[in-house]
Amino acid sequence: MKTKWTLSEVASQKGKVYIVTGGNSGIGYETVRELAKLDATVIMASRNQERATNAKEEILKTVPDASIDIILIDLANMDSIHNFAKVFKDKYNQLDGLVNNAGVMFTPYRETDDGFEYQNGINHLGHFLLTNLLFDQLKETKSSRIVTISSMAHKFGKINFDNYLFEKKGSYSKIKSYGQSKLSNLLFTFELDRRLRNQNIDIKALAAHPGGAKTNLTRAAHGFFSRIFDLFSQSAFKGALPTLRALLDEDAKSGEYYGPSGFLEIKGDPVIVKPRKKAYNKLDAKKLWLKSEELTNKRFIIE
């Protein structure tokens, strides 16, 4: 296995179409910009028109011929996810890569428009539904990829099937909730990979995490935590490299997980990293798949 990879070895992506959720900020923004530099067409899937337009204009300053299309999506609203998929399918006949990147962290208890606890609703369930709705396009496109962004926080994550959305009164913990959502991202990726391989489908499912990267993510966790975090973290660009490697490295294989090479995977070059064993738990992955189908009100059949 080669361990080194740089963006400079990536061939032109002209003619390819990518979707990046949360593409207006942080890791997503850097991912959109690098894909645009490589001449790809990139759909910036954002929840706010103004923030997305500003981000696109910022990229155009350094990549004047960037092909960036903004399509609005609110992952906290299932109608909006359905609408995004419809608008996308009306405009495009192919999808080379879907980057399930958008996320929220450590938010006080609140619910999505569909009544799901917010972090698990956006970080996992929204992306589960989006992937399901775009699956046909991914399948029709040769060698397409689905890259889902997890976190080191999956390590303290635990899936509580009896209380997945923290329905029990007083049970909510913003840290436990974030950990569960990020473990869900990995269980989903590895289950998706197994189902794709079983059916010999030409789509790769991979995961990535940025280590600690300076973005807007720590908004809800002000004060001491974000100051310490900023001290030790890397740039958003460096944080986007594991995503970009999972998406673009020709040698990357389905089922792989990329993150930074350094101490505790906080900083460094993008390499294959090992998740905790619980991320490979097949029973949990199956149960989570069923639960996600039930909550998003749509079967996700891989065939």
Ligand X SMILES: NC(=O)c1ccc[n+]([C@@H]2O[C@H](COP(=O)([O-])OP(=O)(O)OC[C@H]3O[C@@H](n4cnc5c(N)ncnc54)[C@H](OP(=O)(O)O)[C@@H]3O)[C@@H](O)[C@H]2O)c1
Q: Is 178 a catalytic residue?
A: yes
Q: Closest distance between ligand X and the C-beta of residue 54, in Å?
A: 10
Q: Which is nearer to ligand X, 46 or 296 (CB)?
A: 46
Integer Cα distance of 186 and 280 in angstroms? 8
Q: Closest distance between ligand X and the C-beta of residue 213, in Å?
A: 4
Q: Which is nearer to ligand X, 32 or 38 (CB)?
A: 32
Q: Closest distance between ligand X and the C-beta of residue 264, in Å?
A: 12
Integer Cα distance of 179 and 201 in angstroms? 30
Q: Which is nearer to ligand X, 76 or 248 (CB)?
A: 76
Q: Which is nearer to ligand X, 21 or 292 (CB)?
A: 21
Q: Closest distance between ligand X and the C-beta of residue 13, in Å?
A: 21
Q: Closest distance between ligand X and the C-beta of residue 86, in Å?
A: 16
Residue nearest ligand X, CB atom distance? 26
Q: Residues of 258-271 as b/e, b for ≥16 C-beta within 10 angstroms? A: bbbbeeebbbbebb
Integer Cα distance of 162 and 148 in angstroms? 25
Q: Residues of 80-94 as b/e, b for ≥16 C-beta within 10 angstroms? A: bbeebbeebeeebee
Q: Which is nearer to ligand X, 97 or 210 (CB)?
A: 210
Q: Which of 17, 66, 84, 72 is nearest to 47 (CA)?
A: 72
Q: Would you tell me which residues interact with ligand X (CB under 6 A)?
A: 21-22, 24-28, 46-48, 51, 73-76, 101-105, 122, 149, 151, 209-210, 212-213, 215-217, 233, 239
Q: Which is nearer to ligand X, 30 or 249 (CB)?
A: 30
Catalytic residue among 164, 178, 257, 258: 178
- In the chain, the amino acid numbered 220 is A
| Residues involved in catalysis | 178
